[in-house]
Amino acid sequence: MPRFFYPLPLAIGEQVTLPDTVAHHCHVLRLNPGDTIVLFNGTGGSYVASLTSIDKKRAAAEVKTFDSSEVELPYAITLAQALPESSKMDWIIEKAIELGAAGIQPLAAQRCVMRLSGERAEKRRLHWQGVIESASEQCGRNRLAQLGEVSDFKQWIAQQDMHKRLFLSPRAEHSLADWVKHHPAQALTIMIGPEGGFSEQEEQLALQHGAIPLSMGSRVLRTETAGLAALASITALWGG
């Protein structure tokens, strides 16, 4: 059944007017009144609903049943990604959601080519939120990953109330795979540098604030590959 994100509370028996984008998608799919769709609002579980009306710009549905099933990882992984060039961030976020990331933290690092601030940063953040919603629709997740504000690396790394942080570096002496094999499943943040990696100063700051340097092996991965490879490696070893 087609799955759609609905950004409001849902309840069995309720008649809901679907967002314009969802109505348009239903029209493109040539759905008709009586057809069944799945709605989720990002807080857990999903609802089966039946279309009651539809045209090119509007659609409504009646909520029928609730399904509490979840496909989340049993541990929370946040991807702290330094801003890459162009539209790479869209692809990184989309694939990270498919792989189960519970959070996305955009970072402004020294070597970032893209610079975002003020209204431009907020506009980009709203766009990324849409990427998270669309990716969640596609991959079957009922809980939306948390998206952080674009943060300066130095300010973000200085925060103390965070779970364990791992930063990937080709200069690290120990591998991510070995570390994961010898530690129990737990909440983590994976830190990925931009093109060119984190600067030496940033790596020193990360070490000073307790981050753990790990490598992905002998080959140097691109910024759009490293975080996704790390996510896949962790879930392969810890399960989920």
- pLDDT of 9: 96
- pLDDT of 114: 83
Q: Do 202 and 90 sit in the same domain of this protein?
A: yes
Q: Do 145 and 219 sit in the same domain of this protein?
A: yes
Q: Residues 197-209: pLDDT tens digits? A: 999 999 999 999 9
Q: Do 28 and 87 sit in the same domain of this protein?
A: no
- pLDDT of 75: 97
Q: Do 101 and 62 sit in the same domain of this protein?
A: no
72 in any annotated domain: no
Residue with the two structure tokens 């857990």: 44
Q: Which domain holds residue 9?
A: 3-67
The rounded percent of the chain whose pLDDT value lies above 70 is: 100
φ, ψ for residue 7 (rounded to 5)? -85, 30
Q: Residues 23-41: pLDDT tens digits? A: 999 999 999 999 999 999 9
Q: Do 223 and 196 sit in the same domain of this protein?
A: yes
- For residue 117, pLDDT over 80 is answered with no
- For residue 61, pLDDT over 80 is answered with yes
Cβ 216 vs Cβ 49: under 8 Å = no
The total domain count for the chain is 2
Q: Do 45 and 8 sit in the same domain of this protein?
A: yes
Domain holding 183: CATH number?
A: 3.40.1280.10
Q: Residues 146-169: pLDDT tens digits? A: 999 999 999 999 987 778 999 999
Over residues 214-239, mean pLDDT: 95
Closest CA to 232 of 73, 70, 107, 44: 73
16 in any annotated domain: yes
φ, ψ for residue 75 (rounded to 5)? -145, 150
Residues, the chain, total? 240
pTM for this prediction: 0.93
CA distances from 95 to 49, 119, 135, 154, 187 (A): 28, 26, 8, 26, 19
Last residue of a domain, one of 14, 39, 67: 67
173 in any annotated domain: yes
Q: Do 136 and 171 sit in the same domain of this protein?
A: yes
- pLDDT of 72: 97
Q: How does the average pLDDT of the chain come out, rounded?
A: 94
Q: Do 95 and 160 sit in the same domain of this protein?
A: yes
- pLDDT of 49: 98
Rounded CA separation 63/186 (Å)? 36
The dihedral region occupied by 42, where left means phi > 0, alpha psi between -120 and 50, and beta the remainder, is left
Residue 172 — pLDDT band, cuts 50, 70, 90? very high
Q: Do 102 and 220 sit in the same domain of this protein?
A: yes
